Structure 1
C-alpha cells in the first residue's frame, strides 16, 4: 500500500465494456435487454430501456446541435433524476459535448442564491448552453442571463430527427466536469476523460462482483455527485438493470429506498452513512414485508462511517435476509474520479478502536478496547482498488509507518488531469502524478482509515482536535438538529461548536448548556463556546456535507442569527 509497491493491474474499459467512450458504451448497451427504471417514492415506475435511451440520446444530440452545441462545448444540466434528464445527459455525450451536472436548490428560500451559484459556474466553465428541468425553467431562465440559450429536457425529448453517428470522441479527451463539494473552499471543476470515467466504472464492476445475468443496481444518489454518476455509468456500461430514484423522493420518504431494494431484488447499492441510519429507523418503526437477501454490496462512503448507523441497519435488515457482510466501506473523491479504497467483498466491515488522546497529542492511532473511556471508533476502508496506490505522508513529506496519522496521497490511472482553468489549484493538489487529498488517515493491516481533513483540524494547546468528534456528540443531544459545525477561531487556539434547535425547542440557552455539558463529559476538552443558531443557518454542500469554514465566517461576521451562546 505504499509508493514502492508494484502497481496492481486494473481492468480496462475496452476489455470489460468493449468501449472506451461513454457513447460507445451506450451503443453497446442498446443491444442488451436491460435498461434503467426510474421510480418515485411510491415506487411508480418509468422504464427506460438502454435501446430507447440510445435512440433518444441521438435525437437530443440533434436538438443540442441546433442550439449551437458542438464537440467540446460545455453543456450545463440542472435537473433532478428523470428520464428527460438522462436523455439530455447522454445526448450531450452523443453530441461530443462535455456535460456539467449542477445541483437543484434544497429549498425555495435558497432559490435566488442557487441561481446565482449556477450562473457563476456556467461562467466558470464557459458553458455553451444550459438544459434545465421543465418545471424549473421559468424559475431560472431569467436569472441565467441572455448570453446563452436555456433549453428544457422536454424540448430535447421532442426532437424528431436523430443523428446517425455519434460525434467523434477521443477516449483520452475531456468528457466531464465534476464540481467538487466545496466543504473546505470554493467548489472547483475536476476535468475527467472518457477513459478515466470508464476505467473507474470497470474497477467498481469488478470490486462489486457484478454479473450480467443476475446483478441489479439501485441508487437514489444525485447524479451531480461522483458516487451517484460513476455507479450509474458502471451499471449502464456493464449492461445490467439500473434502478434510479430522484434524491428528493428518498429524502421525502426514506423508506422508499429500502422498498425499492426489496422489490427489484437489488444486488448492490451505494449511499452515504446517514442513509443507512434512516433505513434502519424505517425498518424498526414501520415493519413490513421485505426481501433483502439478494443484496451483496451496500457501499458506504462520502462521509464519516459511524458504527451505530451500520450496526442498526444490519440488525434491522437481518430479519429480511440481509447478510451481515453486506455493508462495504469505501473511500474516494472526485479528483480520483471516484473509488480509491474499498472493503473486501464479501467481508464484514472492520472497525478500528483507537485512543482519542493518541490521535490528538501524538498523531498515532493506538489501539484500545472498544469500551475504553477515550475510544474513538473508525471504519477501515479497505485496500486500494486495482491500479491505485496510496501513501500516508507527514508534514515534511516523508512516508509514515502504520498507524501514524498523515495526509493521504493517491496515485491512480483515473486521476484527474486538473481543475478547469485553475492551474494554481491543480499545481497545489497534484505533484508528480500524486494527488494530495487534504484528507487525514493512517494505515492498518486491514487497510486505510480516514480520520479527518487537514484544513478542518483544530489545534488547541498542542492537541489536534477533530471537528467530526464534536459534531457527532453534539448531534446526539436531544433537541439538536443533525447538522452541527465545529470550527477553530482564526488566529487563536479557541474553538466553537454551532448547532441548530430541533422543531419545538424554545429554551435555546438550556440547549446550549446541555450540549456543552455533553461535550465536556464525552470528549474531555470542551469547546470555548457553544452557539445555537437559527434553523437553516449552518451551510451544507449540495451533497449534504457541512461547510465548516463558511459557518465560521457567518458566525464571525455577525451574519448568523445566534439564538443563544454558552461559554466553557
Structure 2
C-alpha cells in the first residue's frame, strides 16, 4: 500500500483518520489506539506545546521506553513544527545531560522511571523550562494534565518535506554524541523511490501487522514505525525487546513483518521450544546493523520460513540506503558477503583519501547520495561540511563495488564499534576510563563477538605506583556511560602504540583479534 499524497509526518494521521478512523494504529501491552484517536490526541499534544510557548523549530526531549504515548508525542511535535529529541533511556546521567544541554531542549517528556535523573539535571540546564512526567499506571498523569483543556482540531501549521522533525544523537569521534537532524523527507524518500521504480523490496499489504522491536531513539526504530504508520497498518509496539516477548507477540498478534538486528534474530531462535509454527504468519523480516552469518541465515530460513531483506544505512543517511533483497539470500552465494545494492534512485561511489573515485573492486570510502540524507549535525557546521560533500554522504565505512553494482564492506575508516546494532565510539569509552585515578591512558577497539557481532576491548596503561583490576575498571565506567558501551575485556599494558603524530594505532591493536576473519568488521 502506497499513498503518494503523504509527504510529511504531519500528513500521516489526518489522512488515515479520515480514511479508516476505527482501524487500530498501535498496540502496546494490550492497549490499542485507533488512527482516529491517535490523530485527535496528537492534535492535543500539538496545541498544548503551542500553549506552553514551545514554538516551531524548538527542541523537545523524550526520555522513556516505547509506548503509544511516545508516538502520540512524536506526531504532536510533527504537526506543530517542533523537533523531537528522543533520548536513549539506557544512557548514564551525564550522557542524558549532554543530549539535553546540546539540543537546548525546552521541554522534556519523561517516564516516571527516569524522572529522578531529569529533575536532578534540570537546575543546571537553563533552556529546560518544563518537565512533563508520564506515568503509565495513572491515567491522569502529567501528560494528561499537559493536554488538559486543549482542542482536538487540526492546527494551522503546514509542515514541509524539508523541515526538521527529529534530532537523533549518535556517538561521536570526539567522545561527545552529535545531534543528527532529520527532515520529514527522511521517512518518505526511499518509499517514494521504490514505488517510482516498481520495486517491492519494502512492500505493505492491508492485512499486515508490523512489530516495532527497535526503540524509537534509533533511526531504524522511528523509521520502521513510520513506514507502518504511512501504510495505515497495525503497529505492535514492544516496550523493550526480549526474545521471549518477541516470539510470543509474533505468534499471538499474527505479526507479518518486522525490522531487527541479527543478534535479536539469534536470540529468538535460541528460545526454548521455538518452531516454524511460532512464526507461521511472518512473510518478511528486514534486518540490519551488522551482517548475518551464513549459519544464522540458514537457521532463519529454516525456522522463520519467510523472506529476508538486509538493509545498510546510517543515522546520517536517514536509515537505509543499500539493500540485499530476498532473492540474493542464498546460503553459500558470494552475494551473501555483500551489504547489497543501492535502492533505486540512490547513488553509491567509492573514493580514495583525496575524494577521487576508485576503480571497480578497489577498496575506498563508501559515499552515498540519497534523498533521505540528514540536514546537518546540530550546531556543528564544520563536522557537517566534512561529512556532506557536494551532496554526497561520506559514511566512514571502507568497501568496494563489484561489476554488478553490489557494495561490499571491508573495514571501517571511522573507529566506531557496533554492538548489537548500537554504535559505540572508542573516544566515549576512553574518556570515561581515563577519569579513573589509576588510569594514565586507554584505547578501546572492537573485537569479534559471536552473539553481539562486536564487543569492546579496552587496553589500559596505569599511572606510576597505581593499580587497578579489570572488574574495578568495569564497575567504574558503568557509572559514567551506558551499559552497552562498557568493555567486556580489559588488558593492562605497558604502552599503547601510537604513530609519530600521537594518534592511537587502533588497527595494530585490532589485528590480533581479526586476523582470521574474512571481514574486518562484524
Residue in structure 1 matched with residue 455 of structure 2 by the alignment: 484
User: 1:84·1:157 contact (CA, 8 Å) conserved in 2?
Assistant: no
1:136 matched to which residue of 2?
Answer: 114
CA deviation string 1:468-495 (max 9, x = no partner):
6x423xx58xxxx9863257899xxxxx
- Please state if 1:122 is matched with 2:100: yes
Q: TM-score, normalised by structure 1?
A: 0.69
CA distance in 2, matches of 1:433, 1:140: 38
Q: Could you tell me how far apart the structure 2 residues matched to 1:89 and 1:551 are?
A: 43
Residue 130 of structure 2 is aligned to residue 149 of structure 1: yes
* Distance change (3 Å), C-alpha of 1:378 and 1:536: farther
User: RMSD in angstroms over aligned alpha carbons?
Assistant: 3.7
The question of 1:80 aligning with 2:65 is answered: yes
Gap change, CA 1:281 and 1:335, over 3 Å in 2: same
Q: Identify which of 38, 46, 54 aligns with 2:27.
A: 38
Distance 2:7 2:453 in 1: 42
> Is the Cα–Cα contact under 8 Å of residues 327 and 349 in structure 1 kept in the other structure?
no
Distance 1:551 1:400, change over 3 A: farther
**What is residue 95 of structure 1 aligned with on the other side?**
80
Deviates more, 1:66-75 or 1:142-151: 142-151
Cα distance change of structure 1 residues 343 and 281 upon mapping to structure 2, 3 Å threshold: same
Structure 2: any 5+ residue segments left out of the alignment? 135-140, 418-443, 462-468, 497-511, 513-522
1:163-562 aligned within 5 A = 163-166=152-155, 167-182=157-172, 185-202=175-192, 207-247=200-240, 250-251=241-242, 254-282=243-271, 285-287=272-274, 290-317=277-304, 322-323=305-306, 326-349=307-330, 379-444=337-402, 445=404, 447-456=406-415, 470-472=447-449, 484-486=455-457, 534=474, 544=484
- Taking structure 2 as the reference length, what is the TM-score of the superposition? 0.75
Q: Deviations over 1:336-382 (max 9, x none)?
A: 111111122444256676xxxxxxxxxxxxxxxxxxxxxxx963222
SS of 1:92 mapped into structure 2: helix
d(CA) in 1 for partners of 2:361, 2:480:
31
Cα distance in 2 for partners of 1:219, 1:180 equals: 20
CA–CA distance in structure 1, aligned partners of residues 70 and 388 of structure 2 = 33
Q: Judging changes above 3 Å, is the alpha-carbon distance between structure 1 residues 543 and 307 closer, same or farther for their aligned structure 2 residues?
A: farther
2-structure distance, mates of 1:81, 1:56: 17
In the TM superposition, what is the alpha-carbon distance from 1:329 to its structure 2 partner? 1.4
- Aligned counterparts of 1:552 and 1:435: Cα–Cα separation in 2: 38
Aligned length: 444
Structure-2 change in CA distance of 1:217 and 1:181 (3 Å)? farther
Aligned residue in 1 for 2:44: 59
Partner of 1:368: none
Q: Which deviates more from structure 2 when the two are superposed, residues 333-342 or residues 293-302?
A: 293-302
Q: Provide, for residues 246-275 of structure 1, a one-character-per-residue CA deviation record: whole Å limited to 9, x for no partner.
A: 12xx23xx1211222222332221111111
- Summarize deviations over 1:385-433 as a string: whole Å, max 9, x none: 1221011112233322333221100111111222111011011111111
Deviates more, 1:211-220 or 1:54-63: 211-220
Deviation at 1:84, TM superposition (A): 2.2
1:162 aligned partner: 151
Report the CA distance shift for 1:242/1:403 in structure 2 as closer, same or farther (over 3 A). same
Q: Which moved more, 1:214-223 or 1:291-300?
A: 291-300
1:302-343 deviations in whole A, cap 9, x for unaligned?
Answer: 1343333333333343xxxx13xx222110111111111112
Deviations 1:447-477 (A, max 9, x none): 212233113399xxxxxxx966x423xx58x
For 1:226 and 1:552, the matched residues in 2 are separated by 36
**Contact in 2 for aligned 1:118/1:144 (Cα 8 Å):** no
CA contact (8 A) 2:201 2:309 kept: no
String of CA shifts for 1:1-32, please: whole Å, max 9, x gaps. xxxxxxxxxxxx9x734122211111112232
SS in 2 for 1:471: strand
Distance 1:119 1:22 in 2: 28
For residues 344 and 169 of structure 2, the distance between their equivalents in structure 1, rounded to whole angstroms, comes to 25
Judging changes above 3 Å, is the alpha-carbon distance between structure 1 residues 188 and 168 closer, same or farther for their aligned structure 2 residues? same
Distance 1:542 1:265, change over 3 A: farther
Do the aligned partners of 2:25 and 2:32 also contact (CA within 8 Å) in 1?
Answer: yes
Map 1:107-118; keep pairs closer than 5 Å: 114-118=92-96
- Contact (CA 8 Å) 1:352, 1:380: kept in 2 or not? no
For 1:424, what is the secondary structure of its paired residue?
Answer: helix
Contact 1:277 1:310 in 2 (8 A): no
